[in-house]
Amino acid sequence: MNLIVNGNETNVDGELTVNELLTEQNVKMPEMVSVELNGQILRRSEFESTKLNEGDAVEFLYFMGGGHASERATD
Amino acid sequence: MPLSEQQIERYSRHIILEQVGGAGQEKLLSSKVLIVGAGGLGAPAGLYLAAAGVGTIGLVDADSVDLTNLQRQIIHHTSDLGVEKVASARNKMQAINPEVTVETYHIKATADNIRKIIPGYDFVIDGTDNFPAKFLINDACFFERIPFSHAGILRFEGQLITVLPRETACYRCIFHSAPPAGAVPTCSQAGVLGVLAGVIGSLQATEAMKYLLDIGDLVTNALLTYNALTLEFRKVRLNRNPDCPLCGENPQITELTDEEQTICDLNDSKH
């Protein structure tokens, strides 16, 4: 099945759910990712039940902080 | 107020731009921008907006300059170690442009104080590093109806979105609520290429100026992502999310509250 993942054409074997795609794409911490499927943000609770279809466009959007880091917290 | 001769000279490279002109420069001089976080993102934003003659710039930060900041927070110098960041930043901004008023708030932004600070500002720049602050700014700007620029940086990547509350997709439309504790690495745990702060913070200043001047197209209903390693920008199109807990069809957030701090331990989280 052909998908567009983060703008790149990607071929995956067989049927996949969003959760399975996250695993397949080596996303190690899915809890830090929001998933957009064909322009709509998915609920986290739907990751497991949502099956992907041929031609779907999937975007992984990552939580990013930065800017003003509190470095001393880890000293 | 008409521009003085000195102002016409100082801002000549703006004034010569058809889309800015004398009227646009006067608009900038009478505008007010609030920068929350005088760190990596706030540094270039503060410097450029001061240089551009944005008349009033507010800075919110409870922190003092630390040696680890200097790799990317270019508004702070080695001689500023231990100095309040808002004071250090104000000094540089006024050294560049003495006619800019810099309002400093040496406090951690909270649900209690932010709604008292942001009214009166035309645009807000989120230069914070932690998610509770980012959600707080998003929510406060929603309730006060003030447009803002969100940005984040981590390792070699950055992201940016401008939000026109109640009109375009907000931060919660994308990221419903703060991630679970420990899930998201911070710059201190994961590292960040210093110059990323310059790239993304400068883009935030660009968005602020475009909004103030009412020119061009803002990065709304799209998340701009930047990868420094491939030097690629991507605009991921977004729609407002009907499930958004803040601006969706059935909002669960009806008043401003502080989100729990959930990243690393942050016993000295500043926002």
In this prediction, residue B188 carries a pLDDT of 64
Q: What is the CATH number of the domain that holds A46?
A: 3.10.20.30
Four-point Cα dihedral B126, B147, B162, A30, nearest 10: 60
Is residue A6 domain-resident? Answer: yes
The residue of chain B with its CA nearest to that of A61 is B174
Determine which of B236, B239, B246 to mutate to test the interface with A (most A C-beta atoms within 10 Å): B236
Is residue A75 domain-resident? Answer: no
Is residue A33 domain-resident? Answer: yes
Is residue A69 domain-resident? Answer: no
Is residue A68 domain-resident? Answer: no
In this prediction, residue B118 carries a pLDDT of 97
The residue segments making up the domain with residue A38 are 2-63
In this prediction, residue A32 carries a pLDDT of 85
Q: What is the pLDDT of residues B140-190, one digit of tens each?
A: 999 999 999 999 999 999 999 999 999 999 999 999 988 876 666 666 677
In this prediction, residue B267 carries a pLDDT of 38
ipTM passes above 0.90: no
Angle at B41 between CA B6 and CA B51, to 5 degrees: 5
In this prediction, residue B179 carries a pLDDT of 80
Extents of the domains making up chain B: 31-237
> DSSP character for A57?
E
Q: Does the domain spanning B31-237 belong to CATH 3.40.50.720?
A: yes
Per the CB < 8 Å rule, is B238 touching A41?
yes
User: Percentage of residues in chain B with pLDDT exceeding 70?
Assistant: 92
DSSP string, chain B: -PPPHHHHHHTHHHHTSTTTHHHHHHHHHT-EEEEE--STTHHHHHHHHHHTT-SEEEEE---B--GGGTTT-TTS-GGGTTSBHHHHHHHHHHHH-TTSEEEEE-S---HHHHHHHSTT-SEEEE--SSHHHHHHHHHHHHHHT--EEEEEEEBTEEEEEEE-TTTS--HHHHS-SPPPTTSS--HHHH-B-HHHHHHHHHHHHHHHHHHHHT-S--S-SEEEEEETTTTEEEEEE----TT-TTTSSS-S--S--PPPP-SS--TT---
Is residue A71 domain-resident? Answer: no
Q: How far apart are CA B86 and CA B59, in angstroms?
A: 6
Q: Is B187 a catalytic site residue? A: yes
Is residue A45 domain-resident? Answer: yes
**Tokens 């290429």, located at residue:** B193
**Strand pairing of B101-105 and B123-126?**
unpaired
> Would the pTM of this model clear 0.90, i.e. be above it?
yes
Q: How far apart are CA B215 and CA B21, in angstroms?
A: 12
- Name the catalytic one among B141, B170, B187, B247: B187
Per the CB < 8 Å rule, is B128 touching A68?
yes
Q: What is the pLDDT of residues A23-75, one digit of tens each?
A: 999 988 888 899 999 999 999 999 999 999 999 999 999 988 864 443 322 22
Is residue A21 domain-resident? Answer: yes
Residues of chain B with pLDDT under 50: 263-271
Q: In this complex, is the C-beta atom of A8 within 8 Å of any C-beta atom belonging to chain B?
A: no
How many domains does chain A divide into?
A: 1
In this prediction, residue B183 carries a pLDDT of 65
